[in-house]
Every structure is written in structure tokens, then in C-alpha cells.
């Protein structure tokens, strides 16, 4: 498990990221659903929450951001409920609610406004980043909860690093056309999301970077490094 004390120091109870020691927290392998749910349960308990307070996103590599509240508690706590459908980002201002996304090289983007006590958690892969999902999350926080982008703090969590994430020539070309950082066929997911947050009005000094590459750091599940269906769980709790 990795926690982010500087981000939590803003008044946020929990911002954390699971690793291999916590077990596979995804529900992608039908032969191990019970084990994965138990891993989610234990990870939540270690962070002082429960599955009943959890809301997960049923990720599709899109740009949909879903506002969630008390009525959504427990989404992702059962094998037949994978979370809020067709969603790659969650936003809330409900105290005690825990938001979760699941990654194995894609970027978990944590967002928190310590003034209005609103938070978001976003799953940003190469397609979601190209479509500016992080910037979209800032817009939803602004329109839904009255958050000022300048008040937001962001954390770009462990994910594929800029020296390891190689894509097709076509994808790299699309990134360069979108003014996102690419070196040859290597994409910089970290800087791309930081740029998009900055363009959405988040101060660069408020954007923190975990700086951990899931492909290189074997403490974490990585699809590119051959971990198949294994997923790390990113969690933020108000």
C-alpha cells in the first residue's frame, strides 16, 4: 500500500493506492472474484472504511464523470455490481464516501478542494487522457459543487512512466496533434495529465506527482509488465 501524506495533509482523510501485497483488487478474472472482493474489503478496512462506503467506477476508457452520493454507497462491493456503469471518473461532496478506480498502468488522478470539501477520482489511460478526462473532471466539480479550479489540489498517482509507455505510431501522432507530450512512440501520461489540469485552471504548484512507474516498480500490478488481469486500487475518501 502507498499513501500520500502531503495530499492527506490538506484535510482529506484518505488518499491511497494498493499494491501486489494487498492482492488483486480488480474483478476481471471470473475465477477469483471472491478473492478480489476480499482484497478490496481488507484494503478498505486498513484505511478505516468499509465496502459499504465504497463507490467504484465501471471503467470503459471513456470520459464520463459521475457525481455520486449516499445512495451510491456499496457500488462495487458485490461480484454482480462492478460499480457505476460506463464511467471513468467519480466526484462527490458526501462525507465518509470512498471513491475507487482500478488501474494497472493507467493514471489515477486524485482531485480535492479543501475549501468546499469536494473530491474526484479519475481513471486516465491513453484514450481518456487524449480526450482530456482530467480536465472534464475539473469542469464537473466546478459546475456540480461550485469548486473553483484554482482551489483544487491534484495528485497524479502511480502509473506507466514516460520512459516505459510505448504506443503505436498512430497514437503517438494523435498525442502530438493534441499538444500532449510524446517522445517518439513513448507517451508521458504524467505530464499530459498535469498539462490538462493546468489548462483547466488548476495551479501547477497544486499538482503533485507520485513519480512511480508501475511498469518498472514491481510492487504494483502492471498490464504492460505481464500481470494480466491484476489491478491496483486507487482510493480517495472524504
* Alpha helix ranges (H) inside the chain: 5-8, 33-46, 126-130, 133-145, 169-177, 189-199
Domain boundaries 2-237, CATH class: alpha beta
179 with 125: CB under 8 angstroms?
no
Tens-place pLDDT, residues 11-68: 999 999 999 999 999 887 766 788 989 999 999 999 999 999 999 999 999 999 999 9
pTM, two decimal places: 0.96
Taking the C-alpha atoms of residue 107 and residue 85, their distance in angstroms, rounded to an integer, is 19
Q: How confident is the model at residue 229 (pLDDT cuts 50, 70, 90)?
A: confident
Q: What is the pLDDT of residues 144-189, one digit of tens each?
A: 999 999 999 999 999 999 999 999 999 999 999 999 999 999 999 9
Beta-carbon contacts of 24 under 8 Å, excluding residues fewer than 6 positions away, are 32, 35, 36, 39, 221, 229, 230, 231
Q: Supply the pLDDT for residue 177.
A: 95
Helices then strands (H, E): number in the chain? 6, 13
pLDDT at 30: 65
Which residue blocks in 56-163 are alpha helix, DSSP H? 126-130, 133-145
Domain ranges of the chain: 2-237
Amino acid at each position: 500500500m502507498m499513501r500520500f501524506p502531503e495530499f492527506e495533509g490538506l484535510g482529506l482523510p484518505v488518499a491511497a493506492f494498493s499494491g501486489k501485497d494487498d492482492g488483486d483488487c480488480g474483478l476481471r478474472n471470473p475465477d477469483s472474484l471472491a478473492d478480489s472482493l476480499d482484497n478490496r474489503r481488507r484494503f478498505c478496512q486498513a484505511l478505516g472504511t468499509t465496502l459499504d462506503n465504497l463507490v467504484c467506477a465501471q471503467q470503459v476508457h471513456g470520459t464520463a464523470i459521475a457525481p455520486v452520493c449516499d445512495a451510491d454507497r456499496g457500488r462495487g462491493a458485490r461480484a454482480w455490481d462492478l460499480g457505476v456503469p460506463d464511467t471513468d471518473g467519480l466526484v462527490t461532496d458526501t462525507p465518509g464516501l470512498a471513491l475507487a478506480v482500478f488501474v494497472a498502468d493507467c493514471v489515477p488522478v486524485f482531485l480535492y478542494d479543501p475549501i468546499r470539501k469536494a473530491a474526484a477520482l479519475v481513471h486516465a489511460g491513453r484514450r481518456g487522457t487524449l480526450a482530456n478526462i482530467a480536465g472534464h473532471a475539473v469542469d464537473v466539480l466546478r459546475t456540480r459543487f461550485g469548486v473553483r479550479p484554482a482551489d483544487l489540489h491534484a495528485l497524479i498517482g502511480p502509473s506507466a512512466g514516460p520512459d516505459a509507455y510505448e504506443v503505436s505510431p498512430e497514437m503517438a501522432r494523435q498525442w502530438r496533434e493534441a499538444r500532449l507530450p510524446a517522445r517518439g512512440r513513448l507517451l508521458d501520461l504524467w505530464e499530459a495529465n498535469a498539462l490538462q489540469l493546468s489548462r483547466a485552471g488548476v495551479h501547477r504548484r497544486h499538482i503533485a506527482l507520485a513519480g512511480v512507474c508501475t511498469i518498472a516498480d514491481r510492487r504494483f500490478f502492471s498490464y504492460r509488465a505481464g500481470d494480466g488481469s491484476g489491478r491496483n486500487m486507487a482510493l480517495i475518501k472524504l
